[in-house]
Structure 1
Amino acid sequence: MRNLYLITHPEAAHHIDDLVGGWFDSDLTGRGLAHAERIAEALAIRFPGDAAVQVFSSDLLRARRTAEIVAKRLGVDVVVDTDLREKSYGVAGGRPQAWLDERFIPPPAVGERMRHDEGVDGAETKWELAVRAYAALERVIQSEVENQVVVTHGGTATFLIAAWIGMPIEAAGSVSFRFSPGGITLLREDNFFHNRQVAMLNDVGHLT
Protein backbone atom coordinates (compact mmCIF):
# COMPACT_ATOMS: atom_id res chain seq x y z
CA MET A 1 0.00 0.00 0.00
CA ARG A 2 1.21 3.50 -0.83
CA ASN A 3 -0.32 6.48 0.95
CA LEU A 4 0.59 9.82 -0.55
CA TYR A 5 -0.63 12.84 1.41
CA LEU A 6 -0.83 15.90 -0.79
CA ILE A 7 -0.75 19.10 1.28
CA THR A 8 -1.54 22.58 0.02
CA HIS A 9 0.35 25.11 2.12
CA PRO A 10 -1.75 27.09 4.60
CA GLU A 11 -2.38 30.83 4.64
CA ALA A 12 0.47 32.97 3.34
CA ALA A 13 0.98 36.74 3.34
CA HIS A 14 -0.02 37.16 -0.31
CA HIS A 15 -3.44 35.67 0.50
CA ILE A 16 -4.34 38.36 3.01
CA ASP A 17 -2.62 41.14 1.04
CA ASP A 18 -4.57 40.15 -2.10
CA LEU A 19 -1.40 39.77 -4.13
CA VAL A 20 -0.64 37.31 -6.92
CA GLY A 21 1.28 34.32 -5.59
CA GLY A 22 2.95 32.13 -8.14
CA TRP A 23 6.71 32.35 -7.70
CA PHE A 24 6.38 35.43 -5.48
CA ASP A 25 8.03 34.07 -2.34
CA SER A 26 5.67 35.09 0.43
CA ASP A 27 5.90 33.57 3.89
CA LEU A 28 3.22 31.97 6.05
CA THR A 29 1.16 34.25 8.26
CA GLY A 30 0.83 33.60 11.97
CA ARG A 31 -2.42 31.79 11.22
CA GLY A 32 -0.65 29.83 8.52
CA LEU A 33 2.05 28.74 10.95
CA ALA A 34 -0.57 27.60 13.45
CA HIS A 35 -2.34 25.66 10.73
CA ALA A 36 0.94 24.05 9.68
CA GLU A 37 1.24 22.71 13.22
CA ARG A 38 -2.28 21.29 12.97
CA ILE A 39 -1.42 19.66 9.66
CA ALA A 40 1.62 18.07 11.29
CA GLU A 41 -0.49 16.71 14.15
CA ALA A 42 -3.17 15.39 11.79
CA LEU A 43 -0.54 13.50 9.81
CA ALA A 44 1.28 12.18 12.89
CA ILE A 45 -1.96 10.56 14.06
CA ARG A 46 -2.17 8.65 10.79
CA PHE A 47 1.32 7.14 11.00
CA PRO A 48 2.27 4.50 13.57
CA GLY A 49 5.45 5.24 15.50
CA ASP A 50 7.60 2.89 13.44
CA ALA A 51 6.18 3.90 10.03
CA ALA A 52 8.64 4.98 7.36
CA VAL A 53 7.70 8.42 6.03
CA GLN A 54 9.14 10.77 3.42
CA VAL A 55 8.37 14.48 3.12
CA PHE A 56 8.75 16.33 -0.19
CA SER A 57 8.24 20.04 -0.72
CA SER A 58 8.24 22.91 -3.14
CA ASP A 59 11.20 25.20 -2.54
CA LEU A 60 9.01 28.30 -2.14
CA LEU A 61 9.09 29.60 1.42
CA ARG A 62 5.40 29.14 2.28
CA ALA A 63 5.50 25.48 1.26
CA ARG A 64 8.98 24.75 2.58
CA ARG A 65 8.21 26.18 6.01
CA THR A 66 5.06 24.03 6.16
CA ALA A 67 7.05 20.96 5.18
CA GLU A 68 9.72 21.68 7.80
CA ILE A 69 7.09 21.83 10.54
CA VAL A 70 5.57 18.56 9.33
CA ALA A 71 8.96 16.87 8.96
CA LYS A 72 10.08 17.92 12.43
CA ARG A 73 6.93 16.43 13.95
CA LEU A 74 7.47 13.19 12.02
CA GLY A 75 11.21 13.04 12.75
CA VAL A 76 12.38 13.10 9.12
CA ASP A 77 14.09 15.46 6.68
CA VAL A 78 12.55 17.43 3.81
CA VAL A 79 13.35 16.63 0.19
CA VAL A 80 13.03 19.89 -1.76
CA ASP A 81 11.92 19.72 -5.39
CA THR A 82 11.61 22.96 -7.38
CA ASP A 83 9.19 21.27 -9.80
CA LEU A 84 6.60 21.27 -7.00
CA ARG A 85 6.42 25.08 -7.23
CA GLU A 86 3.22 26.91 -8.00
CA LYS A 87 2.58 28.13 -11.55
CA SER A 88 4.66 31.18 -12.43
CA TYR A 89 2.61 34.27 -13.20
CA GLY A 90 5.62 36.08 -14.63
CA VAL A 91 5.61 39.83 -14.11
CA ALA A 92 2.30 39.57 -12.23
CA GLY A 93 3.90 37.75 -9.28
CA GLY A 94 3.66 39.91 -6.16
CA ARG A 95 1.43 42.50 -7.83
CA PRO A 96 -2.16 43.18 -6.72
CA GLN A 97 -4.58 40.48 -7.87
CA ALA A 98 -6.64 43.21 -9.56
CA TRP A 99 -3.64 44.02 -11.78
CA LEU A 100 -3.58 40.44 -13.06
CA ASP A 101 -7.37 40.25 -13.39
CA GLU A 102 -7.36 43.24 -15.74
CA ARG A 103 -4.81 41.63 -18.08
CA PHE A 104 -5.54 37.93 -17.85
CA ILE A 105 -6.78 36.25 -21.03
CA PRO A 106 -8.78 33.12 -20.11
CA PRO A 107 -8.33 29.94 -22.15
CA PRO A 108 -10.85 29.12 -24.86
CA ALA A 109 -13.71 26.74 -24.10
CA VAL A 110 -12.47 24.43 -26.86
CA GLY A 111 -9.23 24.13 -28.73
CA GLU A 112 -5.71 24.60 -27.36
CA ARG A 113 -5.92 25.16 -23.62
CA MET A 114 -2.63 23.74 -22.35
CA ARG A 115 -0.34 26.05 -24.35
CA HIS A 116 -2.68 29.04 -24.22
CA ASP A 117 -0.99 32.44 -23.77
CA GLU A 118 -2.67 34.17 -20.83
CA GLY A 119 -1.35 37.58 -21.86
CA VAL A 120 1.13 38.09 -19.00
CA ASP A 121 4.84 38.38 -19.77
CA GLY A 122 6.89 35.53 -18.35
CA ALA A 123 3.93 33.50 -17.12
CA GLU A 124 4.00 29.73 -17.46
CA THR A 125 1.42 27.99 -19.58
CA LYS A 126 -0.64 25.15 -18.15
CA TRP A 127 1.50 22.84 -20.26
CA GLU A 128 4.74 24.01 -18.65
CA LEU A 129 3.28 23.65 -15.17
CA ALA A 130 1.88 20.20 -15.94
CA VAL A 131 5.15 18.93 -17.42
CA ARG A 132 7.09 19.67 -14.26
CA ALA A 133 4.29 18.48 -11.95
CA TYR A 134 4.14 15.15 -13.78
CA ALA A 135 7.93 14.86 -13.56
CA ALA A 136 7.91 15.66 -9.84
CA LEU A 137 5.31 13.00 -9.11
CA GLU A 138 7.29 10.45 -11.08
CA ARG A 139 10.32 11.13 -8.87
CA VAL A 140 8.23 10.84 -5.70
CA ILE A 141 6.78 7.45 -6.61
CA GLN A 142 10.16 5.99 -7.52
CA SER A 143 10.59 5.52 -3.78
CA GLU A 144 9.28 2.36 -2.15
CA VAL A 145 8.48 4.14 1.13
CA GLU A 146 4.84 3.41 1.95
CA ASN A 147 3.91 6.79 3.43
CA GLN A 148 4.77 10.02 1.66
CA VAL A 149 3.88 13.67 2.20
CA VAL A 150 4.08 16.21 -0.62
CA VAL A 151 3.71 19.89 0.28
CA THR A 152 2.83 22.01 -2.71
CA HIS A 153 0.44 24.68 -4.04
CA GLY A 154 -3.16 24.70 -5.27
CA GLY A 155 -2.46 25.03 -8.98
CA THR A 156 0.27 22.41 -8.96
CA ALA A 157 -1.82 19.98 -6.92
CA THR A 158 -4.38 19.64 -9.72
CA PHE A 159 -1.75 18.32 -12.09
CA LEU A 160 -0.21 16.06 -9.45
CA ILE A 161 -3.60 14.37 -9.12
CA ALA A 162 -3.97 14.19 -12.90
CA ALA A 163 -0.58 12.48 -13.09
CA TRP A 164 -1.49 10.16 -10.20
CA ILE A 165 -4.60 8.81 -11.95
CA GLY A 166 -2.74 8.38 -15.23
CA MET A 167 -4.45 11.16 -17.15
CA PRO A 168 -2.49 11.83 -20.36
CA ILE A 169 -0.92 15.25 -20.03
CA GLU A 170 -2.44 16.28 -23.37
CA ALA A 171 -5.91 15.72 -21.86
CA ALA A 172 -5.31 17.72 -18.68
CA GLY A 173 -6.24 21.12 -20.11
CA SER A 174 -9.75 21.14 -18.64
CA VAL A 175 -9.14 19.42 -15.31
CA SER A 176 -9.33 21.53 -12.15
CA PHE A 177 -9.59 20.61 -8.49
CA ARG A 178 -10.28 23.30 -5.92
CA PHE A 179 -7.98 23.33 -2.91
CA SER A 180 -8.11 25.26 0.33
CA PRO A 181 -5.00 26.55 2.11
CA GLY A 182 -3.91 23.80 4.47
CA GLY A 183 -6.05 21.10 2.87
CA ILE A 184 -5.01 17.43 2.96
CA THR A 185 -5.64 15.11 0.02
CA LEU A 186 -4.94 11.39 0.27
CA LEU A 187 -3.83 9.49 -2.83
CA ARG A 188 -3.68 5.73 -2.33
CA GLU A 189 -2.36 2.78 -4.36
CA ASP A 190 -2.97 -0.80 -3.31
CA ASN A 191 -0.15 -3.32 -3.56
CA PHE A 192 -2.17 -6.12 -5.20
CA PHE A 193 -4.06 -4.63 -8.15
CA HIS A 194 -1.97 -1.44 -8.08
CA ASN A 195 -5.08 0.61 -8.60
CA ARG A 196 -4.81 4.27 -7.70
CA GLN A 197 -7.52 6.26 -6.03
CA VAL A 198 -8.20 9.72 -4.66
CA ALA A 199 -9.24 8.50 -1.23
CA MET A 200 -9.73 11.95 0.32
CA LEU A 201 -9.85 15.36 -1.38
CA ASN A 202 -9.01 18.66 0.30
CA ASP A 203 -9.94 17.71 3.86
CA VAL A 204 -9.75 20.73 6.20
CA GLY A 205 -11.33 19.24 9.30
CA HIS A 206 -8.02 19.46 11.17
CA LEU A 207 -8.04 23.28 10.81
CA THR A 208 -11.26 23.87 12.78
Structure 2
Amino acid sequence: MRSVYVITHPEATHHVEGVVGGWHASRLTSAGRRAAASVARAQRARIPDGTEVELFSSDLRRARRTAEEAAVLFGVKPVLDRRLREKSYGEAEGGPQEWLDRRFVPPPAVGERLEHDEGVEGAETRAAWAQRVYAALEEVLRRSCEHQIIVTHGGSPALVVAAWIRMPVESVGHACFRAPSGSITTLREDGSFHNRQVVSLGDTRHLDS
Protein backbone atom coordinates (compact mmCIF):
# COMPACT_ATOMS: atom_id res chain seq x y z
CA MET A 1 0.00 0.00 0.00
CA ARG A 2 1.04 3.56 -0.67
CA SER A 3 -0.84 6.70 0.37
CA VAL A 4 -0.05 10.13 -1.02
CA TYR A 5 -1.59 13.20 0.63
CA VAL A 6 -1.65 16.39 -1.44
CA ILE A 7 -2.03 19.52 0.69
CA THR A 8 -3.03 22.85 -0.81
CA HIS A 9 -1.54 25.69 1.22
CA PRO A 10 -4.14 27.76 3.14
CA GLU A 11 -4.95 31.46 2.87
CA ALA A 12 -1.99 33.61 1.86
CA THR A 13 -1.52 37.38 1.64
CA HIS A 14 -2.06 37.47 -2.13
CA HIS A 15 -5.55 36.01 -1.59
CA VAL A 16 -6.64 38.90 0.64
CA GLU A 17 -4.66 41.67 -1.10
CA GLY A 18 -6.16 40.95 -4.51
CA VAL A 19 -2.83 40.37 -6.20
CA VAL A 20 -1.65 37.57 -8.48
CA GLY A 21 0.02 34.65 -6.72
CA GLY A 22 1.94 32.43 -9.10
CA TRP A 23 5.61 32.55 -8.07
CA HIS A 24 5.07 35.74 -6.07
CA ALA A 25 6.61 35.49 -2.58
CA SER A 26 3.39 35.88 -0.60
CA ARG A 27 3.08 34.66 3.01
CA LEU A 28 0.42 32.81 4.94
CA THR A 29 -1.99 35.14 6.73
CA SER A 30 -2.70 34.63 10.45
CA ALA A 31 -5.81 32.66 9.41
CA GLY A 32 -3.64 30.69 7.00
CA ARG A 33 -1.17 29.80 9.73
CA ARG A 34 -3.99 28.54 11.96
CA ALA A 35 -5.35 26.50 9.07
CA ALA A 36 -1.89 25.07 8.37
CA ALA A 37 -1.76 23.84 11.97
CA SER A 38 -5.20 22.22 11.52
CA VAL A 39 -4.02 20.54 8.32
CA ALA A 40 -0.96 19.15 10.10
CA ARG A 41 -3.03 17.81 12.99
CA ALA A 42 -5.45 16.17 10.54
CA GLN A 43 -2.54 14.51 8.78
CA ARG A 44 -1.04 13.33 12.06
CA ALA A 45 -4.40 11.74 12.98
CA ARG A 46 -4.59 9.88 9.64
CA ILE A 47 -1.15 8.27 9.75
CA PRO A 48 -0.32 5.65 12.41
CA ASP A 49 2.49 6.39 14.85
CA GLY A 50 5.75 4.71 14.00
CA THR A 51 5.04 4.72 10.26
CA GLU A 52 7.64 6.14 7.91
CA VAL A 53 6.55 9.45 6.39
CA GLU A 54 8.15 11.57 3.69
CA LEU A 55 7.31 15.24 3.18
CA PHE A 56 7.75 17.19 -0.06
CA SER A 57 6.90 20.83 -0.69
CA SER A 58 7.03 23.65 -3.17
CA ASP A 59 9.88 25.95 -2.21
CA LEU A 60 7.69 29.07 -2.21
CA ARG A 61 7.29 30.61 1.23
CA ARG A 62 3.55 30.02 1.70
CA ALA A 63 3.84 26.31 0.86
CA ARG A 64 7.07 25.89 2.82
CA ARG A 65 5.46 27.42 5.92
CA THR A 66 2.54 24.99 5.57
CA ALA A 67 4.93 22.06 5.28
CA GLU A 68 6.81 23.15 8.40
CA GLU A 69 3.70 22.56 10.52
CA ALA A 70 3.57 18.93 9.40
CA ALA A 71 7.35 18.58 9.69
CA VAL A 72 7.19 19.34 13.41
CA LEU A 73 4.50 16.75 14.11
CA PHE A 74 6.14 14.01 12.06
CA GLY A 75 9.72 14.79 12.97
CA VAL A 76 10.84 14.98 9.34
CA LYS A 77 12.49 17.62 7.19
CA PRO A 78 10.61 18.82 4.08
CA VAL A 79 12.21 18.15 0.72
CA LEU A 80 11.78 21.42 -1.19
CA ASP A 81 11.13 21.13 -4.92
CA ARG A 82 10.53 24.16 -7.15
CA ARG A 83 8.73 21.90 -9.65
CA LEU A 84 5.79 21.79 -7.20
CA ARG A 85 5.23 25.53 -7.52
CA GLU A 86 2.03 27.09 -8.81
CA LYS A 87 1.85 28.15 -12.45
CA SER A 88 4.00 31.17 -13.20
CA TYR A 89 2.07 34.22 -14.40
CA GLY A 90 5.11 36.10 -15.64
CA GLU A 91 4.91 39.87 -15.50
CA ALA A 92 1.53 39.71 -13.72
CA GLU A 93 2.90 38.11 -10.55
CA GLY A 94 2.52 40.28 -7.47
CA GLY A 95 0.46 42.78 -9.45
CA PRO A 96 -3.29 43.47 -9.24
CA GLN A 97 -5.48 40.47 -10.05
CA GLU A 98 -7.77 42.88 -11.88
CA TRP A 99 -4.90 43.78 -14.25
CA LEU A 100 -4.40 40.11 -15.11
CA ASP A 101 -8.13 39.46 -15.50
CA ARG A 102 -8.41 42.25 -18.11
CA ARG A 103 -5.51 40.94 -20.21
CA PHE A 104 -5.97 37.21 -19.78
CA VAL A 105 -6.86 35.32 -22.98
CA PRO A 106 -8.72 32.07 -22.10
CA PRO A 107 -7.82 28.92 -24.03
CA PRO A 108 -10.15 27.89 -26.86
CA ALA A 109 -12.85 25.28 -26.30
CA VAL A 110 -11.24 23.14 -29.01
CA GLY A 111 -7.80 23.18 -30.56
CA GLU A 112 -4.44 23.90 -28.92
CA ARG A 113 -4.79 24.44 -25.18
CA LEU A 114 -1.52 23.23 -23.65
CA GLU A 115 0.71 25.70 -25.54
CA HIS A 116 -1.95 28.44 -25.58
CA ASP A 117 -0.65 32.01 -25.23
CA GLU A 118 -2.63 33.69 -22.43
CA GLY A 119 -1.56 37.18 -23.46
CA VAL A 120 0.73 37.81 -20.45
CA GLU A 121 4.45 38.29 -21.03
CA GLY A 122 6.55 35.56 -19.43
CA ALA A 123 3.57 33.44 -18.31
CA GLU A 124 4.17 29.71 -18.17
CA THR A 125 2.20 27.53 -20.57
CA ARG A 126 0.02 24.77 -19.18
CA ALA A 127 2.28 22.29 -20.99
CA ALA A 128 5.40 23.49 -19.17
CA TRP A 129 3.55 23.58 -15.84
CA ALA A 130 2.18 20.06 -16.30
CA GLN A 131 5.51 18.62 -17.39
CA ARG A 132 7.35 19.82 -14.29
CA VAL A 133 4.62 18.66 -11.88
CA TYR A 134 4.48 15.26 -13.60
CA ALA A 135 8.27 14.97 -13.28
CA ALA A 136 8.16 15.90 -9.59
CA LEU A 137 5.52 13.28 -8.79
CA GLU A 138 7.36 10.62 -10.79
CA GLU A 139 10.44 11.24 -8.66
CA VAL A 140 8.42 11.06 -5.43
CA LEU A 141 6.90 7.74 -6.49
CA ARG A 142 10.28 6.20 -7.24
CA ARG A 143 10.88 6.23 -3.51
CA SER A 144 9.65 3.34 -1.41
CA CYS A 145 7.61 4.92 1.37
CA GLU A 146 4.11 4.03 2.54
CA HIS A 147 3.01 7.57 3.41
CA GLN A 148 4.06 10.62 1.41
CA ILE A 149 2.85 14.19 1.87
CA ILE A 150 3.08 16.78 -0.91
CA VAL A 151 2.45 20.47 -0.17
CA THR A 152 1.65 22.63 -3.15
CA HIS A 153 -0.61 25.41 -4.45
CA GLY A 154 -4.17 25.88 -5.70
CA GLY A 155 -3.76 24.79 -9.31
CA SER A 156 -1.03 22.18 -9.05
CA PRO A 157 -3.04 19.46 -7.21
CA ALA A 158 -5.09 18.94 -10.40
CA LEU A 159 -1.88 18.06 -12.21
CA VAL A 160 -0.71 15.81 -9.36
CA VAL A 161 -4.01 13.91 -9.57
CA ALA A 162 -3.78 13.70 -13.37
CA ALA A 163 -0.25 12.33 -13.11
CA TRP A 164 -1.32 9.92 -10.36
CA ILE A 165 -4.02 8.33 -12.52
CA ARG A 166 -1.54 8.22 -15.40
CA MET A 167 -3.45 10.64 -17.57
CA PRO A 168 -1.20 11.41 -20.55
CA VAL A 169 0.25 14.89 -20.19
CA GLU A 170 -1.12 15.65 -23.68
CA SER A 171 -4.65 15.24 -22.26
CA VAL A 172 -4.48 17.62 -19.29
CA GLY A 173 -5.59 20.64 -21.30
CA HIS A 174 -9.17 20.03 -20.13
CA ALA A 175 -8.46 18.37 -16.76
CA CYS A 176 -9.84 20.08 -13.66
CA PHE A 177 -9.76 18.65 -10.13
CA ARG A 178 -10.73 21.25 -7.52
CA ALA A 179 -8.67 21.44 -4.33
CA PRO A 180 -9.54 24.50 -2.18
CA SER A 181 -7.04 26.34 0.03
CA GLY A 182 -6.09 24.30 3.09
CA SER A 183 -7.52 21.10 1.65
CA ILE A 184 -6.16 17.55 1.66
CA THR A 185 -6.47 15.22 -1.33
CA THR A 186 -5.83 11.55 -0.54
CA LEU A 187 -4.48 9.17 -3.18
CA ARG A 188 -3.93 5.46 -2.58
CA GLU A 189 -2.28 2.60 -4.47
CA ASP A 190 -3.00 -0.95 -3.40
CA GLY A 191 -0.11 -3.32 -2.84
CA SER A 192 -1.47 -6.25 -4.84
CA PHE A 193 -2.77 -4.95 -8.17
CA HIS A 194 -1.17 -1.47 -7.94
CA ASN A 195 -4.46 0.17 -8.85
CA ARG A 196 -4.46 3.89 -8.13
CA GLN A 197 -7.43 5.42 -6.37
CA VAL A 198 -8.49 9.01 -5.65
CA VAL A 199 -9.87 8.45 -2.13
CA SER A 200 -10.85 12.05 -1.47
CA LEU A 201 -10.45 15.28 -3.40
CA GLY A 202 -10.04 18.68 -1.77
CA ASP A 203 -11.25 17.62 1.69
CA THR A 204 -11.63 20.63 4.05
CA ARG A 205 -13.56 19.04 6.94
CA HIS A 206 -10.58 19.51 9.27
CA LEU A 207 -10.90 23.30 8.85
CA ASP A 208 -14.37 23.26 10.43
CA SER A 209 -13.18 21.82 13.74
List aligned pairs for 1:182-197, cutoff 5 A: 182-197=182-197
**1:9 matched residue in structure 2:** 9
Aligned pairs for 1:59-138 within 5 A: 59-138=59-138
Secondary structure, counterpart of 2:155 in structure 1: helix
What displacement does 1:13 show? Answer: 0.2
Deviation of 1:178 after TM superposition, in Å, equals 1.6
1:36 is matched with: 36
Aligned equivalent of 1:18:
18
RMSD: 0.6
Q: Which amino acid aligns with 2:201?
A: L
If the length of structure 1 is used for normalisation, what is the TM-score? 0.99
Alignment partner of 2:173: what SS?
A: helix
Partner of 2:58: 58
What TM-score do you get using the length of structure 2 for normalisation? 0.98
**Contact 2:178–2:201, Cα closer than 8 Å, also in 1:** no
The list of structure 1 runs, each at least 4 consecutive aligned residues, that deviate by more than 3 angstroms after superposition, is: none
Q: Structure 1 CA distance, aligned partners of 2:20 and 2:160?
A: 21
Number of residue pairs matched? 208
Amino acid across the alignment from 2:13: A
User: 1:49 Cα deviation (Å)?
Assistant: 1.2
CA distance in 2, matches of 1:201, 1:137: 17
Taking the aligned partners of 2:128 and 2:137, their CA distance within structure 1 comes to 15
Mapped to 1, the partners of 2:130 and 2:47 lie a distance apart of 30
Q: Distance in 1 between matches of 2:29 and 2:101?
A: 24
> Are 2:190 and 2:196, in contact at CA under 8 Å, matched by a contact in 1?
yes
* One-letter code aligned to 2:81: D
* Whole-angstrom distance in 2 between the partners of 1:177 and 1:16: 23
1:153 aligns with 2:148: no
Report the counterpart of residue 140 of structure 2 in structure 1. 140
Q: How much does 1:47 deviate?
A: 1.3
Structure 1: gaps spanning 5 or more residues? none
CA contact (8 A) 2:58 2:82 kept: yes
> What percentage of aligned pairs have identical amino acids?
56
CA–CA separation in structure 2 for the residues paired with 1:32 and 1:73: 18
Gaps of 5+ in 2: none
- Deviation (angstroms), 1:154: 1.5
1:170 matches 2:174? no
Q: Answer whether contact 2:56 2:151 (CA < 8 A) is retained.
A: yes
Letter in 1 for 2:118: E
Q: What is the identity, as a one-letter code, of the residue corresponding to 2:190?
A: D
Residue 177 of structure 1, CA deviation: 1.4
